[in-house]
Amino acid sequence: MRRNRSSEAVRALVRETRLAPEDLIQPLFVHAGEPEEVASMPGVRRHSVTSLVEECGRCAAAGIRAVAVFPKIDPARKDAVGSHAVADDNVLYAAVRAVKAAFPGLLVITDVALDPYTDHGHDGLLSADGTEVRNDETVAALQALAVKEAGAGADIVAPSDMMDGRIGAVRAALDAAGFERTLILSYAVKYASAFYGPFRDAVGSKAGAAPLDKRGYQMDPANVREAALEVALDEEEGADIVMVKPAGPYLDVIRAVREATTLPVAAYQVSGEYAQIHAAARLGWLDYERTRDESLLAIKRAGADMIFTYFAREVAEGWKRPGSHS
């Protein structure tokens, strides 16, 4: 075995998995205000529209093909039904228009979910007694949001809410509004995960001190067969790409999904995975760059065609082009 590991040249020859900038999607946050740091995500900012456009320029220059833009909404604009989602002055639409005007070739992905806009932080509309997220009412709101995002110029809309039937409904709404060319990237297999904590800080979707319980719609971390069923339904309903989220703790799920569908598979290395590596590196307990790169390679090896990761730009910038020697 060791002959095939004897030098970097031999190792490069027999290497089975490679990461390239075009595999990576950069999630970015935007708000109506000056740029500010997100405490639990070192190096990540809530951008102004201007600094967001600048950051997109750096991503494009590094070879990144797609960014995912998430809004942080002023708490004063939130309500129980998330009505600001489809308001013309939602900062998300200004952001998408500005990025597409500056970099028409850079793909812009937007989340289709109500959690940035609801005062309770759930991804949908609550029942009168507040104990349940209503499915079909939420799906109708998501249709309107997706059409509005496509109208602002989003190339890919990404339902991340985990309501039933939303992929088919969003596809029909997009087609009816003339957005036949807008892709749907479904957060098909999204777990009720504790690893989303820092993201909820970043977009301010934490309603109170208690963790938000999304187990009534997001998947149980104990399940993997169910992932294949989620993917089959979304495929039938017209998803163009399916996603598994989180990524690192769910490599077996990525593999299972890869084997269950011929669609492209995305994986989302979430905020908590990013924060973990930063925290351990800060304490001097892990080597930052090597851990970061290994975490991404493992996700690709498991079967992901593309990876949403907060490390995207810095990894792409450090990427050695074919022909370079090391």
Point out which span in 48-56, 94-102, 195-203, 259-267 binds ligand PBG (CB under 6 A). Answer: 195-203
Token pair, residue 45, equals 């900012």
Q: Which is nearer to ligand PBG, 53 or 113 (CB)?
A: 113
Binding flag, residue 199, ligand PBG (CB under 6 A): yes
Binding flag, residue 123, ligand PBG (CB under 6 A): yes
Residue 37 phi, psi (nearest 5): -75, 150
Which residues of 94-141 form beta strands (DSSP E)? 107-112, 125-126, 133-134
Question: Is 72 a residue of the active site?
Answer: no
Binding flag, residue 95, ligand PBG (CB under 6 A): no
Please choose, from the candidates 174, 116, 168, the residue with its C-alpha nearest in 3D space to the C-alpha of residue 139: 168
Q: In the window 261-290, what residues touch ligand PBG (CB under 6 A)? A: 270-271
Query: Do 270 and 246 form a contact (C-beta atoms < 8 A)?
Result: yes
Q: 8: helix, coil or strand?
A: helix
Binding flag, residue 113, ligand PBG (CB under 6 A): yes
CA distance 72 to 125: 19
Question: Is 214 a residue of the active site?
Answer: no
Residue where the block lists tokens 């390679």: 297
Q: Catalytic one among 78, 100, 148, 190? A: 190
Query: Do 26 and 57 form a contact (C-beta atoms < 8 A)?
Result: no
Token pair, residue 249, equals 């703790």
Q: Which is nearer to ligand PBG, 196 or 250 (CB)?
A: 196
Amino acid letter, 21: P
Point out which span in 45-53, 107-115, 128-136, 229-237 binds ligand PBG (CB under 6 A). Answer: 107-115
What string marks each residue from 18 to 47 as x (binds ligand PBG by CB under 6 A) or -? ------------------------------
Token pair, residue 14, equals 């027999």
Residue of this chain nearest to ligand PBG (CB atom): 199
Binding flag, residue 149, ligand PBG (CB under 6 A): no
Binding site for ligand PBG (CB under 6 A): 111, 113, 115, 123, 160-161, 196, 199-200, 270-271
